[in-house]
Structure 1
Amino acid sequence: VKMLNAYAADKGVKLMMHHETSGSVRNYERHMDKAYQFMVDNGYNAVKSGYVGDIIPRGEHHYGQWMNNHYLYAIQKAADYKVCVNAHEAVRPTGLCRTYPNLIGNESARGTEYEAFGGSKPFHTTLLPFTRLIGGPMDYTPGIFDTQLSFLPGEHSFVHTTLAKQLALYLTMYSPLQMAADLPESYERYMDAFQFIKDVAVDWDDSQYLEAEPGDYITVARKAKGTNNWFVGGITDENPRRSTFTLNFLDPGKQYVATLYADGKDADYEKNPTSYQITKGLVTAKTKMSAQLARSGGFALSLIEATPADIKALKKWK
């Protein structure tokens, strides 16, 4: 463990733990103090807990009162050790993170893995902001660039999304603990698109919903915490559409470097999911933006406050 910690620190990486209980909840509770103390001793301040499988003891269920009491106990115990919890397979939250802000995220809905083998439809991610996310942050595990799963048949052989839509999920699916959920080699093939994942913030000072129709589409603008930088993400269901909006949430009189990651002209979530185009230019609060979204597509936009060098080097957005 010490060697791993030293290696991570050398790379500028902070480690977290994963407690997969496999549903053996009483056993987990017996070891919880020791596990959290281990985290404190080794500098880990966040844990992803999991409850895959039938709950033990038998007769208890994921959403029953007994398990609800356990989830609360785990969060309270973690708070004693100043540990953040990202619980998977737990009950849907209903605002508990306001009382216990160390509940940094939950899964508690059909996440990205269900987009292929589980058969989630393209409209699924346009509904979650109005249902699941009302109760608190969701760990949806976005960022899938390789959407083709040749080992599965038919409808389940691909993730129902374009690459650009995966970028947009970092905005539409709020979570202060985000993942880049694909393999490193998948990102290495599209490093220009991966730049957005490197740039995008995980927590925000302001959020504005620019357009939305539950089950059809949603476009969100968020201001990165402690900065003047904004990020925008828009997604759609199985129907293509054009998103048009004005950047009137930006500071008046300032210029920003806009980088738009959008579906390519031939993008399609079934036939050509990795087709995308990147456009860059200078914008202001008066600039009108437009992006074409493919079927189950999306777009992501970064708006970084311009430096004098940026203003000299870049052209104004058309």
Structure 2
Amino acid sequence: MKFMQLKKACLHGLVISATAVSALAPAWANTLTLNSPDNKIEVKLEHAQTLKYSVNVAGKSVILPSMIDLKLAGYKNLSEQVRITDSQRDTVNQWLTPEVKVKSAKIHDHYNQLTVTFSNGYKVQFRAFDNGVAYRFITDLDNKVTVLNEIAQFNFAKQADVYLPEEEGFYSHNERSYIYQKVADVAATTLASTPALVESNQIKVLVTETDLHDYAGMWLKGTGSNGLVATFPAYPLEKQALKPWVDRNEPITKRADYLARTQGKRNYPWRVLAIAQNDGELITNQLTYQLAAENKVQDISWIKPGKVAWDWFNANNLYGVDFKAGVNTQTYKYYIDFAAEYGIEYVILDEGWYPLGDLMGTVPEMDVPAIIAHANEKGVGIILWTSWLTLRDQFDQAMDRFAELGAVGIKPDFFQRDDQQMVNFYWKIADEAAKRKLLVDYHGSYKPAGLRRTYPNVISREGVKGLEWNKWSEDSTPEHNTILPFIRMVAGPMDYTPGAMSNAQGPAAYKGVDADHKDFTVRFERPMSQTTRVHQMAMLTVFESPLQMMADTPTNYRREHECAAFMAKVPTVWDQTKVLHGKIGDYISLARQHGDTWFVGTLNDEHARELALDLSFLDKGQKYQIEIFQDGINAARWAEDYKKIVKTVTANDKLVMKLAPSGGYTARISKL
């Protein structure tokens, strides 16, 4: 049977074409295909004894037939002699306006869709975009259901390699390094969080999920062959507070034999394959936003992106002051004064502002109402840290107290889980925070999975191995920094907390050159970075977080005023993003526009190199002033060495930028 599609053209509105096939058709083809709008991606759906899908990209086989299924207690699944009863095709072509402009002010949402209905009450819906494929299950069942398991296979063509964030277990902050290996070498016992990035047949496929709600998060395991398979944390039955941090650690000691108990009429999370033929295409992929449930917050005028003066990384260290620095009122008033002076929108009161375990209590050294009153006078917002477990136990009282104190946001921390119960708590926090006009920045969290679109007050989250790891390890390397934008950042904003002013060359920069020499030292109270100064500055442009931390101490920033003043002016949301250069694990160079001003950020791994800065993205015939911070000539030995250049440029200029090991450069380009 042939399908006929009625196509309509529309520039900015919704474009839909639909074809339905009667369930009474005498013959039904068990193979259906779906193509992306540009016809470069083809999805083939085959239903025989099982339901399998495969994906070809630009004529290359990328995903071999891979089984998908949903197993509900008391219902047949797709491997139990169910039949296809209906099929419908749609095309959507529209422009989305994100509530928070993480990558761009507009998103082109253009896809072809295939929805297949089965005799057991299931639907499977596939969407093919020019830059990826996604599918989800839909059930239309009268009663609540128990999800026993979900099968999601990813079988790759030819030999595939993967950047895999391996985990020890489901109880995790999801702050991992990405281990590069062959997919075939990933054991069935290996557990990994998502997103993960696979290269198969010269095509890159990032595996993640979005629209995660009332369900368990998706993780990955090996198959013992050239594939990965999804796995999920089962519903928690028993927990045990773990000493010494009983206010935040509650690992699961017993799990149920099911993933979730949920409504029978619902859409399940999208399984997302973000597809790129070159590394840079991953940076501009926004499928996790496009596929998420729409905004539920009617008034978003109060949601203000901005930067944060952060206290915890630098251990509240101040010097050259006439009071004892620490978790006390005078220290935070100093942070507020610094933020006001530099135009930084927010200050966080991190761990210690309340007696641990009691969000309704008061620490004698902290006059929180006086701190917030001082912040209000200076035009600075206060964000309050909280342990998730204490927040759960005192939820209504604590949320009311945050609002009564006049806080503008909260930073719940140490979740370490994404089973159904915890996922639902994320949604509860987001909803109740929105009612009180509170921003939310989740830490100790799982990766972004769509909640930021549904509740745009969820302005950022961690779930990333960030700068703080330099306080206790050598894991936060320049190579790691050049991997993150291509994997973790594709899922959504990441609160990496950049901006260290104490900089050194770490062991990676001396590997194979002088193994005994390194300047970097692990220091908890006075931490440093394993990168050059300029690498740290460039992170504010490269790493996406609408709530962007400046992690060093205010007195260090005042000492390094030239660098701090530049960073303080870097926006945290963008009208458009252009990838200038990108090679995962080696380098990343982005140009981002905010209003009439462009910012460029470039991060380098441990190898010195040159990259061209081609300014052809600027308006033709217009003169600009470019202010560049680049690695100094001695940055390979003294990582804090930098050089500032100010000159006039046009779109015709092409500059050659020299990057030190672990270095980079950053620039602000303004119209004259």
Task: Give the TM-score band, short-chain normalised.
Answer: 0.7 to 0.9
More helix, by proportion: 1
Look up the match of 1:315. none
What secondary structure, in the 3-state scheme, does the structure 2 residue paired with 1:90 have? coil
Match of 1:45 among 396, 408, 419: 408
Task: Summarize the alignment of residues 183-198 of structure 1 with structure 2, pairs less than 5 Å apart.
Answer: 183-198=553-568
- Residue equivalent to 1:95: 450
Name the CA distance, whole Å, in 2 between partners of 1:257 and 1:38.
47
Which position in structure 1 is the counterpart of 2:573? 203
Answer whether contact 1:16 1:45 (CA < 8 A) is retained: yes
Structure 1 counterpart of 2:537, from 164, 167, 186:
167
User: Deviation string for 1:120-140 (max 9, x for gaps)?
Assistant: 222001111111111111111
1:113 Cα offset (Å) = 1.2
Counterpart mapping for 1:48-87 below 5 A: 48-51=411-414, 62-87=417-442
Distance 1:115 1:264 in 2: 23
**Residues 36 and 250 from structure 1, CA distance in 2 versus in 1: closer, same or farther, beyond 3 angstroms?**
farther
Q: How does 1:286-297 map to 2 (within 5 A)?
A: 286-297=652-663
CA positional deviation for 1:86 = 0.5
| 1:279 partnered with 2:634 | no
**For the Cα contact (< 8 Å) 2:464–2:495, is it kept in 1?**
no
Unpaired runs of 5+ residues, structure 2, are 1-367, 506-518
Q: Percent identity among equivalent residues? A: 34
8 Å contact 2:466–2:497 — kept in the other structure?
A: yes
Partners of 1:115 and 1:123 lie apart in 2 by 14
Measured in 1, the distance between the counterparts of 2:398 and 2:470 equals 33
1:117 aligns with 2:484: no
Aligned residues: 287
Q: Show the counterpart of 2:613.
A: 245
Q: Which ranges of structure 1 fall in alignment gaps of 5 or more residues?
A: 56-60, 307-318
Measured after TM superposition, the shift of residue 280 of structure 1 is 0.2
- The Cα RMSD (Å) is 2.1
TM-score by length of 2: 0.41
Letter aligned with residue 141 of structure 1: T
1:222 paired residue number: 592
Q: CA deviation at 1:107?
A: 0.7
Instruction: Give me the whole-angstrom Cα distance separating, in 2, the residues matched to 1:43 and 1:102.
Output: 16
- Secondary structure at the counterpart of residue 200 of structure 1: coil
Shift in CA distance, 243/41, structure 1 to aligned 2, threshold 3 Å: same
The question of whether the paired residues in 2 share the 8 Å contact of 1:96 and 1:136 is answered with: no
Select 1:140's aligned residue among 493, 496, 504.
496
Deviation at 1:148, TM superposition (A): 6.0
> Which has the larger Rg?
2
Note if contact 1:116-1:160 (Cα within 8 Å) is conserved in structure 2: no
Alignment of 1:104 onto 2:448: no
Would you say the 8 A contact 2:504–2:639 is kept in 1? Answer: no
Partner of 2:89: none
Q: Select the structure with the greater relative contact order (CA < 8 A; seq sep ≥ 6).
A: 1
- CA distance, structure 2, for counterparts of residue 170 and residue 154 of structure 1: 22
TM-score when normalising by structure 1: 0.84
Query: Which structure has greater strand proportion?
Result: 2
Runs of 4 or more, structure 1, over 4 Å off, are none
Q: Does 1:177 align with 2:533?
A: no
Q: Please give the alpha-carbon distance, in whole angstroms, between the structure 2 residues aligned to 1:43 and 1:305.
A: 39
Q: What's 2:383 paired with? A: 16
What CA distance in whole angstroms lies between the structure 1 residues aligned with 2:623 and 2:380? 33
Could you list the per-position Cα deviations for residues 52-107 of structure 1 after superposition, in whole angstroms to 9, with x for gaps in the alignment?
A: xxx7xxxxx52433322222222222222222110110111123212221110111
Structure-2 change in CA distance of 1:41 and 1:135 (3 Å): same
